[in-house]
Amino acid sequence: MKTANENNKTDKTSLNFIEAIIEEDLKNGKNDSRVHTRFPPEPNGYLHIGHAKSICLNFGLAQKYNGKTNIRFDDTNPTKEEVEYVDSIKEDVQWLGFQWDAEYYASDYFEQLYQWAIQLIKEEKAYVDDSSQEEISKGRGVPTSPGIESPYRNRSVEENLDLFQRMRQGEFPEGSRVLRAKIDMASPNMHMRDPIMYRILYAHHHRTGNEWCIYPMYDYAHGQSDSIEGITHSICTLEFEVHRPLYDWFCKALRIHHPQQIEFARLNINYTVMSKRKLLQLVQEKHVSSWDDPRMPTISGLRRRGYTPESIRNFADTIGVAKRENVIDISLLEFCVREDLNKKALRTMAVLDPVKLIIDNYPADKVEYMTAVNNPENPKDGVRNIAFSHELWIERSDFMEDAPKKFFRLSIGREVRLKYAYIIKCTGIDKDENGNITAIHCDYDPQTRSGMPDSGRKVKGTIHWVSATHAKTAEVRLFDRLFHVPNPDDADEGKTFIDNINPDSLKIINAYTEAEFLHTDVLSNYQFERMGYFCIDKDSTPEKLVFNRTVSLRDTWAKKHT
Ligand code: ATP
Ligand code: MG
- Residue of 237, 262, 277, 333 to mutate, ligand 1, most atoms within 8 A of C-beta: 237
520 and 546 co-located in one domain = yes
* 469, part of any domain: no
Q: How far is the centre of ligand 1, averaged over its atoms, from the C-alpha of 274 (Å)?
A: 9
pLDDT of residue 556: 65
Query: Domain boundary residue among 213, 239, 266?
Result: 266
Q: Which ligand is nearest to the CA of 275?
A: 1
The span from the CA of 326 to the CA of 315, in Å, is 15
**Pairing mode, strands 36-39 and 68-73:** parallel
- Please tell me whether residues 27 and 103 are part of one structural domain: yes
Are residues 330 and 182 part of one domain?
A: no
Q: Are residues 284 and 308 in the same domain?
A: yes
What pLDDT score does 9 carry? Answer: 46
| Positions of the chain with pLDDT lower than 70, given as ranges | 1-13, 454-456, 556-562
Helix 110-122 to helix 157-169 angle (10° resolution) is 160
The reported pLDDT for the residue numbered 5 is 43
Q: What is the pLDDT of residue 559?
A: 60
CATH code for the domain in which residue 300 is found: 2.40.240.10
Contact 276, 46 (CB under 8 A): yes
Does some domain include residue 496?
A: yes
pLDDT of residue 457: 77
How far apart CA 264 and CA 266 sit, in angstroms, is 6
| In-domain check, residue 292 | yes
- How many domains does the chain fold into? 3
Nearest-atom number in ligand 1 for the CA of 43 is 10
Other residues' Cβ atoms within 10 Å of the Cβ of residue 336 = 24
Last residue within a domain, chosen from 404, 433, 464: 464
The answer as to whether 116 is a domain residue is yes
Out of 433, 464, 495, a domain closes at: 464
Where does residue 548 fall: left (phi above 0), alpha (psi -120 to 50 degrees), or beta otherwise? beta
Check whether residue 119 and residue 75 sit in a common domain. Answer: yes
Task: State the pLDDT at residue 452.
Answer: 81
Radius of gyration of the chain (CA): 31
Q: Chain centroid to CA 327: how far?
A: 15
Res 458: pLDDT = 84
Residue 271 in any domain: the answer is: no
* Active site members: 42, 266, 276
Query: Do 256 and 293 belong together in one domain?
Result: no
Co-location of 169 and 38 in the same domain: yes
Same domain for 491 and 427, yes or no, is no
pLDDT digits (tens, 9 = 90+) for 221-246: 999 999 999 999 999 999 999 999 99
Identify whether residues 415 and 539 lie together within a single domain. no
Q: Are residues 43 and 143 in the same domain?
A: yes
Residue of 7, 39, 49, 54 best suited for mutating to test ligand 1, as the one with most atoms within 8 Å of CB: 54
Q: DSSP labels for 132-165?
A: -HHHHHHHH--TTS-----TTTT--HHHHHHHHH
Residue owning the nearest CA to atom 10 of ligand 1: 41
Q: What is the pLDDT of residues 325-345, one digit of tens each?
A: 889 999 999 999 999 999 999
Is 288 in the same domain as 258? no
Which CATH number goes with the domain that contains 231? Answer: 3.40.50.620
Q: Indicate whether 18 and 79 sit together in one domain.
A: yes
pLDDT number for residue 336? 97
- Residue 239 CA, ligand 1 centroid: distance in Å: 10
Query: Which domain covers residue 89, as residue numbers?
Result: 4-266
Atom of ligand 1 lying closest to residue 275 CA:
3
Of 97, 487, 477, nearest to 330 by C-alpha is: 487
Establish if 407 belongs to a structural domain.
Answer: yes
Taking the CA of 85 as reference, the closest ligand is: 1
The predicted pLDDT at position 561 comes to: 56
- Ligand 1 geometric centre to CA of 286 (Å): 23
Domain presence at residue 235: yes
